[in-house]
Amino acid sequence: MENVVDFTKTPVANLYGSNCFSNAVMRERLPKNIYKEILAVQNGEKELTLEVAEVVAAVMRDWAIAKGASHYTHWFQPLTGLTAEKHDSFIAPTGDGKVIMEFSGKELVKGEPDASSFPSGGLRATFEARGYTAWDVTSPAFLKQDPTGTTLCIPTAFISYYGQALDKKVPLLKSIDALSKQAIRVLRALGNERSKRVFTTVGPEQEYFLVDKTFYDQRPDLILTGRTVFGVLPAKGQEMEDHYFGAIKERVAGFMRELNTELWKVGIPAKTQHNEVAPNQFEIAPVFANSTAAVDANQLVMETIRSVARRHGLEGLLHEKPFAGVNGSGKHNNWSMATDDGINLFEPGENPASNARFLLFAVAVVEAVDRYAPLIRSSVATSANDHRLGANEAPPAIVSVFFGGPLTEILDNIAEGKSGGAASPGERITLGVTSLPSLPKDVSDRNRTSPFAFTGNKFEFRMVGSSQSISTPNTYLNVAVAQVLSEFADKLEKASNKNETIQNIIKESYSKHRKVVFNGNNYADEWVREAERRGLPNIRNAVDALAILLRSETVSLFENHKVLTKEELESRYHIYLEKYSKQINIEAGVTIDLAQRYIFPAVTAYAGSLAGDAAALASIGATNVPQAKRAKRIAELSAELYDETSKLETVLFEAQGIEDAFAQARAYQEKVRPAMDAVRIRGDALEKLVAKDAWPLPGYEELLFKL
């Protein structure tokens, strides 16, 4: 049932943030001195004291209870990639059969969920259950409301009894601190004495599919894995390009209206929505926010897409490749760096060629992407994303940077000792029609095929999968750039001639690392060959990509910046490998089940009916009838389906018995997945031969074109 809000009676400005304990709410409700303390904690200037926490907890409790909350939860992000929560009520018995509503500073700051059942990759033994959640002051608390009630959700970090990171939030926070420290060193060397801290900001564009829930409920593969393991495209797919930015259907518009409403209530600035390239594929994008808040917001966006979709009789699919033959879904991670006093460090300005600060930070990113390309690739390594990266769609598995012609020319000129560039300040595009205005021209074009594209004043990392948490990609990116900036700062701090040193750094860094800059078509086979000539890595699968986490240079990088220890990196390596294997194991099991219990019985029955028709026709003298030919072909494919399913069962059993995590993941990648594909080929061929009403599963026509 659609939850309709009449914006003529409840303006969006009044609705926005109504369920978010934002800085604006704290400024209004907290004593001034306490609010200043919280701001100082958010900015990394002070540590949170219990006295301050007590005041905040009391105000937060009263605010939440006034809005109907009966419970609170420390909302955190374990290494499952999802979110977790344990609910506690506000009630405290008084001893006379009554209760009061309590919420202390200690309860706000620290929680204690059971850590034994979350992935730890060997950091914790199964019997070691204690774990702690700690309030993340940089991300606002919010209220979850549904028909069952209202819960206060407090974003937190999740650590073990010995302080090891068991989540994705702790490394992200540490990586932001590391990047800020090195960026401030560079800014000080450039003469900036005002900025105290550098923040990373993120605006993740979330792609997803919607399907009718009636059809979804009849597809065990979608229910259990998020993708279809069988299915053929109808006569029309996405080749007409008519869905992209097309008019939004009324049913979808109703869903989007409620989705926006729910997100706006919790202070998520959902801004843009549109039809994507594939049928029934859509995108929602927010306004930029600081990275920790953006990470939390994106997790909520994914969760809200699913819950709101179900209220409209739909199902939201976040898998990277739910349907073969049409585009998969990504999550464009728009990443930038800004100071606490409002400077965007990637803003080119009117004349980029003379903007030393911009050029210095831009080439730092180029160098980081070139040097740490395998690590950046590993940040998006999942079994689901393997269907996209290196396949026939955006983006490829080769990590490269797009700058566009004008900016590339500026940097090339610097590298070659020339002056000037092609980016002209204030340049406009004249359309030649008096009724249309001239348009300001950006300093670079956009390249939708590039994995890592500069798009005006930010970098768009397009390799992130649609179902992923953006914590890990941003953590790895922050650390890589922090390392390069630290080396720049070392040179600048020792320099006797700062201007000359700045020029030399830009020239030397870009000259050495510009091989990673590519402004052409990243989908083209020619680029794959050219990238190989340049020496750029092409890591096509997640198993190889995850192995980068164990390299000594990776360990040194993270330990030097105090973001992850060797043990914590090893734990993630094992967790992500095991998740890879488990996911394919489930997909293989579903493939076998559908082949044996759905497809084989259906096609056998259908072939039998065709054979009966052929026999009846033969009895009256008809020969060479199509029914007999069709029945024969179905019988042949059915035999092949049976044989290939048996082979899949064999290789799956063998993979399940492998104890070494890497060897097992490799077996799933090299043996189980191809065996699944072989089964699918036969199953999909049978779908084309069987009457629609005899096929046991809703097809792609229903899933992709009927809403």
CATH number of the domain that 682 lies in? 1.20.120.1560
Q: What is the pLDDT of residue 456?
A: 86
Distance CA 400, CA 117 (A): 39
Answer whether 180's CB lies under 8 Å from 337's CB.
no
In a domain, residue 571? The reply is no
In a domain, residue 194? The reply is yes
In this structure, the answer to whether residues 206 and 146 fall within a common structural domain is no
In a domain, residue 1? The reply is no
**Residue 122 banded pLDDT, cuts 50, 70, 90:** confident
Intra-chain end-to-end CA distance of the chain, in Å: 16
Q: What is the pLDDT of residue 429?
A: 44
Distance CA 258, CA 313 (A): 13
The length of the chain, given as a count of residues: 707
**Residue 491 banded pLDDT, cuts 50, 70, 90:** very high
In this structure, the answer to whether residues 416 and 396 fall within a common structural domain is yes
In a domain, residue 655? The reply is yes
Please spell the DSSP secondary structure of 672-703, one letter per residue: IHHHHHHHHHHHHHHHHHS-GGG-SS--HHHH
Distance CA 329, CA 466 (A): 5
Domain coverage including residue 676: 579-705
In a domain, residue 569? The reply is no
Q: What is the pLDDT of residues 142-159, one digit of tens each?
A: 999 988 899 999 999 998
Task: Give the end of a domain, one of 167, 191, 221.
Answer: 167
In this structure, the answer to whether residues 237 and 156 fall within a common structural domain is no
Answer whether 114's CB lies under 8 Å from 120's CB.
no
Task: Give the end of a domain, one of 533, 564, 595.
Answer: 564
Q: Is 15 helix (H, G, I), strand (E, B) or coil?
A: helix
Number of domains making up the chain: 3
In a domain, residue 656? The reply is yes
Segment among 178-182, 364-368, 415-419, 558-562 with least mean pLDDT: 415-419
In this structure, the answer to whether residues 313 and 185 fall within a common structural domain is yes
Helix, strand counts (H, E) of the chain? 24, 20
In this structure, the answer to whether residues 554 and 599 fall within a common structural domain is no
Evaluate if residue 1 carries a pLDDT over 50. no
Q: What is the pLDDT of residue 447?
A: 62
In this structure, the answer to whether residues 535 and 397 fall within a common structural domain is yes
Q: What is the pLDDT of residues 262-283, one digit of tens each?
A: 999 999 999 999 988 889 999 9
**Residue 439 banded pLDDT, cuts 50, 70, 90:** very low
In this structure, the answer to whether residues 635 and 675 fall within a common structural domain is yes
Distance CA 336, CA 462 (A): 14
Q: What is the pLDDT of residue 390?
A: 64
In a domain, residue 573? The reply is no
In this structure, the answer to whether residues 549 and 627 fall within a common structural domain is no
Evaluate if residue 486 carries a pLDDT over 90. yes
Averaged pLDDT score across all residues of the chain: 90
What phi-psi label fits residue 139: left (phi over 0), alpha (psi between -120 and 50 degrees) or beta? beta
Distance CA 398, CA 528 (A): 8
**Residue 40 banded pLDDT, cuts 50, 70, 90:** very high
Q: What is the pLDDT of residues 64-84, one digit of tens each?
A: 999 999 999 999 999 998 999
In this structure, the answer to whether residues 219 and 263 fall within a common structural domain is yes
In this structure, the answer to whether residues 647 and 682 fall within a common structural domain is yes
Distance CA 159, CA 605 (A): 56
Evaluate if residue 642 carries a pLDDT over 70. yes
In this structure, the answer to whether residues 200 and 312 fall within a common structural domain is yes
Q: How far is CA 251 from CA 274, 323, 325, in A?
A: 14, 21, 25
Q: What is the pLDDT of residue 317?
A: 98
| CATH number for position 140 | 3.10.20.70
In this structure, the answer to whether residues 348 and 414 fall within a common structural domain is yes
Q: Is 9 helix (H, G, I), strand (E, B) or coil?
A: coil
Task: Give the end of a domain, one of 495, 530, 564.
Answer: 564
In a domain, residue 3? The reply is no
| CATH number for position 279 | 3.30.590.10
Q: Any bridge partners for residue 160, and if so which?
A: 131
Q: What is the pLDDT of residue 343?
A: 95
